[in-house]
Homo-oligomer: A and B are copies of this chain.
Amino acid sequence: MQHITPPIENIVELLDQDNRSAVAELFAQAHPADIADALERLTPVKRPLAWTFIPGNERGEVLCELNEGVFKDLAHELDNSELIDAIKVLDIDEIADLIPDLPESILADVLFAVDTETRASLGEVLSYPEDSAGGLMNLDAITVRDNLSLDVILRYLRLKTELPEHTDTIYLVNRDNQLTGILPLEKLITGSGDDPAITHALDSPVLFQSLDQEDDVAKAFADYDLVSAPVIDDNKKLLGRITVDDVVDVIREQAEHDFMAAAGLREEEDIFAPVGKTTRNRTIWLAVNLVTALLGSWVIGQFEGSIQKLVALAVLMPIVASMGGNAGTQTLTVVIRGMSTGTISRGNMFNVLKKEAMVGILNGAIWAIVIAVIAAAWYQDPFLGGVIAAAMIANLFMGAIAGVFIPIFLEKVGVDPALAGGVALTTVTDVVGYFSVLGLATLILL
């Protein structure tokens, strides 16, 4: 790949060597996204220094490209006036994206620094939830009356020196400002000049409403290969347009969220945040985990007498718990993904449950045989092998059932399954795993 930016890998070294001219030169040539990458690689104490080397006209764009956690941290460190200078020149949708993460003390100053028109537009964009189509849209759509000919529209566009970024379509409106069609830019080039624009409008355009969820917007962009799409209100009035670059960011953030949430982390986690802050952020997750682990220990504690009589149980019980947790997590993962892509819905949920339960029993049976042989050989006790085997089948079956029901339940009560699903599932498989090994052993062997 021919980079449009010189390599920034050595930014950490350059700052460590206090090689300021090299950093300044690097940043002068670099794309804002690459400067943002460079800042993210630095420890928080170094970032305000690096900031001073960023060309003034690029600072706002750099802020937009920063990871949320790093942005929040940097915004606290910088002078208010520097921050405002960087932000006030941005597009409205960019300012709107940054505002929720700004220190409250500076909010009023930012709104004061932009012109009246921008402030009014900001008010409009900020009135929609951040994760809605309204929160995602830009206000820079080009609209023309739908009864104009292609030639007239071409002449109108020629008056502009440039079009807004990602303009692949022009919006056609009637005299009441309602959206009546979407004209691809290429039709201006390939169409016959006398044709009314409306005759070249898209056959089946995708339109969004301001409160559509950003996940649905992202899926539609991916499914229908869109570059941009309009957002309209209930009266079909055009509110703005969504462009693919913002949708790509949504998809990446969503993916990061799912990946990080499984370990109880937030997607905006700053790798180089101070130790104290990171410890605080992560410790809540460990608290949740301690409670679930204590639940497992409590189950074991009920069978202390059995363990004392047959210490092999203490050796073998973690295997059953662990296998149930792994098999159950596979089911859980498939179900969470199926629910988020929409492949799993009410209509076929029972098929999923039936299938996963069967897979659980089958895999339980396979590994029950293996573990029975191992346990029987290890302790020269075929009955012990039998007990462990029975517990294995029971726990893998329960893991499958829990893997289907836990995400459904969490979704229903409004908890993110990607965050809480894993911990809930392993609590079930630990408890069932320990209880079935120790309970069956107590009944049958002792």
Contacts and interface: CB of A to CB of B under 8 A. Distances in A.
B248 A222 contact: yes
Given A223-B65, A290-B367, A366-B283, A315 B297 contact: yes
Given A206-B2, A279-B363, A314-B307, A33 B290 contact: no
Contacts of A345: 9, 12, 41
A216 B7 CA distance: 14
Given A263-B329, A283-B366, 4 more contacts: A12-B345, A247-B248, A271-B338, A293-B318
A271 B34 CA distance: 39
A279 B362 contact: yes
Interface residues of A, number: 131
A205 B3 CA distance: 9
Give the interface centre of A318, A344, A363 by most chain B CB atoms within 10 Å: A318
A319 B282 CA distance: 17
B275 A297 contact: no
Given A224-B33, A311-B308, A358 B323 contact: no
Give the interface centre of A65, A190, A209 by most chain B CB atoms within 10 Å: A190
Interface of A: 1-4, 9-13, 31, 33-34, 37, 40-43, 65, 133, 154, 157-158, 160-163, 165-168, 185-186, 188-190, 204-209, 212, 216-217, 220-225, 227, 244-245, 247-249, 251-252, 254-256, 258-260, 262-265, 269, 271-272, 275-276, 278-279, 282-283, 285-286, 289-290, 292-294, 296-297, 300-301, 304, 307-308, 311-312, 314-316, 318-319, 321-323, 326-327, 329-330, 332-334, 337-338, 341-345, 347-348, 351-352, 355, 358-359, 362-363, 366-367, 370-371, 374, 378, 430
Given A314-B307, A323-B290, A347-B10, A330 B1 contact: no
Nearest to A375: B297
Contacts of A300: 314-315, 318
A285 B366 CA distance: 13
Nearest to A267: B337
A441 to B, nearest CB: 13
Contacts of A311: 304, 307-308, 314
A189 B158 contact: yes
Contact of A4 (B224, B264, B334): B224
Given A2-B206, A189-B158, A189-B185, A293 B359 contact: no
B304 A315 contact: yes
Contacts of A262: 259, 262, 333
Interface of A is mostly: helix
A333 B207 CA distance: 37
Given A264-B330, A290-B323, A318-B293, A348 B278 contact: no
Contacts of A366: 279, 283
Nearest to A352: B271
A204 B4 contact: yes
Nearest to A229: B1
Contacts of A358: 275
A245 B220 contact: no
Contact of A1 (B43, B166, B185, B207): B207
B330 A263 contact: yes
Nearest to A161: B190
28 contacts: A1-B206, A1-B216, A2-B206, A2-B208, A31-B204, A33-B223, A34-B223, A40-B341, A41-B343, A41-B348, A154-B189, A185-B189, A222-B252, A247-B248, A255-B258, A255-B259, A260-B334, A263-B329, A271-B344, A279-B359, A282-B363, A283-B363, A289-B323, A290-B370, A296-B319, A297-B316, A297-B319, A304-B311
